[in-house]
A = this chain, B = another copy of it.
Amino acid sequence: MARRTARDLRSENRFEVLHALFELGPSTRQELARHTGLSPATVATIVTEFLSEGVLRVATVENNTGGRPQERLTIDPERGRIVGVDVAETYVDATVYDLELGVLGHGEVALDEHENDPSYVVDGIVRAIEAAVADGGVQQKRILGVGVSMPGHVHPDAGVSVFAPNWDWHDVRIEELLEKVLPVPVYVDNPLKAVVLSEMWFGVGRVVDSMAVVNLGTGVGAGIAIDGSLMRGATNNAGEWGHTLLRLDGRPCRCGRRGCVEAYLGAPGLRTTLAEIDPDHPTLAQSRQRDFVEAVALGLDAGDPALKELALRTSRYLAAALGDLVNLLNIPSVTLTGWTSTALARWLVPAVRAELPDHVMPGSLQGLTVEPSQVPGNAVALGMAAFTLQRFLTRLGLGSPAGTRPRPDPEP
């Protein structure tokens, strides 16, 4: 079996320290060692490297009675800028962050879902980034890296969109295309990996280290972390919960199989359910998916009985499909994210919780929490920014252009 290399371990230790700083805020070396479980010597080395590279700065110095002065360290938000990009089937959403992953600016571009040329999508990404950069008043040259979440099956190390069924893309070298037009390192990954990282760093990961982050939008999927490790699978394809069965030989799914969870819980699946309840329901006239889901939420507010039945059936499907996830993985925490979750959480979450005992084994039900995500802003963009920050730290001090770049001037 392949073992971790010394370089892997060095990167992992750096991420542990960084992650601890996000969790604890300004910390002493001792606090970082205690929190990470790393040796004081390892923490001291990493802190020294980070200080010399400008990633950390000394926030305060405390003079303890009888001891040496204690430096309290913090991430230096001004060290540079990171961009996180969420590319979905109908939009590109870009956010610029400082090095503490505080939001500086935001930009959004609509995509025509019938256009599938890579240059069209690349252009959309660039325009969204430009909008975010302008919104934040950020200097282009201060950007240390861009993380781009792409739908479908992505190979992050190769920077390739292996398969994007919505565009019928096969092996599109998206990182290369983007690095031609963006003069900074680009990191690509899949939204399920991004949402679980954002949740591990800024959401439920602060209290649990095993979780599923269930994303409900046009497509559905689950990001999974077990014992603090993001589950990627053999080919970065883990988490395709949307293409597990709810009902063998059930509704056709766009993956070609029948009866998948996505055919019931994706936005088009909700539309199918509503058409089963009332084929003439006026909400079905909404042709754009997000408009449809927003209209469902408004109609539920108004007490529409067909939409109440839709929420009931959808909650039952969701409880059943979450039951499978929990029975298989025995995870203590499920977080709901994505725009369908955001729009409908008020109706879905209580109904799902009520249904869960019918679907979860008793031994896995106790202590199980199902909650809407508390991560602020676009969780996909935030997760991609966190990946990009990780990658930046891995390259730091290894002679890469980003790593050796001198500390730039502040924005005017």
Contact = CB atoms under 8 A, between A and B. Distances in A.
Contact of A238 (B209, B259, B321, B330): B330
Contact of A163 (B210, B229, B362): B362
Contact of A324 (B2, B244, B329): B244
A3 B358 contact: no
Contact of A330 (B3, B226, B234, B257): B234
A329 B367 contact: no
B363 A222 contact: no
Interface in A323-366: 323-325, 327-332, 358-359, 361-364, 366
Interface size class of A (residues with CB under 8 A): 35 or more
Interface stretch (A41-49, A103-111, A245-253, A302-310): A245-253
Contacts of A325: 328
- In the assembly, how many copies of this chain are there? 2
A331 B224 CA distance: 13
Given A236-B330, A244-B244, 10 more contacts: A1-B228, A162-B363, A227-B229, A240-B327, A243-B361, A244-B328, A245-B321, A247-B247, A248-B250, A257-B359
22 contacts: A1-B228, A3-B36, A153-B362, A226-B229, A232-B330, A233-B330, A233-B331, A234-B331, A235-B363, A235-B364, A237-B363, A237-B364, A239-B328, A243-B361, A244-B244, A244-B327, A246-B248, A247-B247, A248-B317, A256-B358, A257-B323, A257-B358
